Amino acid sequence: MLIRFQFRQQTYSADLSKGIDLSLPLRDGLDNPNCFWAPAPEFSPVRMGDFVGSTAEGGAVNFYNVRFNPHGNGTHTECVGHIARERFVLRDCLLDTHCIAKLASVYPRRTDEGDRVIFRDQLEELLQPGEAEAFVLRTLPNDDRKKNLQYTGANPPYLHHEAAAWLVDCGIRHLLIDLPSVDREEDGGQLLAHRAFWRYPRATRADCTITELIYAPETLPDGRYLLNIQTAAFELDASPSRPVLFALMRE
């Protein structure tokens, strides 16, 4: 299915039958990326008397309970409710599920303290104001280990809060990253990059989202795409998500 649309007075088209899925599948057990000391996902059939919700065990249907943590167990999208004292629900914040996104790749820079950080000057080379509405950040090196990497206690790379502020200055409303968080794993609860991106609490950008633990394959070139962010309708600050990119054709 081919669609046509305009962005910044330029006409584009995209083939919706050729989406590139950036999400990581959520599996039962340890074969998932995991972070922040979250327990591994658990999928288990319902058992009541003689009933078992598993066709593999002789049941008539598959009828499973699922236990997981959206923030710790895989690709997820979150709203400002993740850090706000007030109640914000993702389904009320994520209103524009289609937008123009720019994918860019960057090597985090190692600091004197040993942290690996993405700084503002690096993003200034990758993104200019008005280029896109969403920014998809792929960290380098990039390989299949990201699909089930155990991040807990590893102090993974993160985004400097001034880099997050630059994204805001550029008009980015949806940030997607292949790391467990835009902030340092342990930062004493400061959450500076989250706060800078959402401008919380002084000028809260409630219609903006952050998606973490994506995976952008090596075969996907940097550039602009049409983005669709798919989420579940949980009454929570976050949801497992499926961001999908579509190649853009300029007309």
Mean pLDDT of all residues in 124-137: 97
Residue-wise pLDDT for 142-175, tens only, equals: 999 999 999 999 999 999 999 999 999 999 999 9
CA distance 58 to 19: 37
Q: How far is CA 236 from CA 76, 89, 203, 207, in A?
A: 12, 5, 22, 15
Q: pLDDT band for 71, please (50, 70, 90 cuts).
A: very high
* Confidence (pLDDT) at 5: 85
pLDDT over 90 at 45, yes or no:
yes
3-state percent breakdown (helix, strand, coil) of the chain, nearest 5: 15, 35, 55
86 close to 198: Cβ distance less than 8 angstroms = no
pLDDT over 90 at 8, yes or no:
no
* Confidence (pLDDT) at 14: 96
Nearest to 211 by CA among 64, 88, 101: 101
- pTM more than 0.95: yes
Residue-wise pLDDT for 219-238, tens only, equals: 999 999 999 999 999 999 99
Domain positions in the chain: 2-27+70-250
Instruction: List, edge to edge, every strand of the sheet that includes 249-250.
Output: 2-7, 10-15, 249-250
Burial tier of 135 (Cβ tally within 10 Å: 0-12, 13-18, 19+): buried
Q: pLDDT band for 9, please (50, 70, 90 cuts).
A: confident
Name the class of domain 2-27+70-250: alpha beta
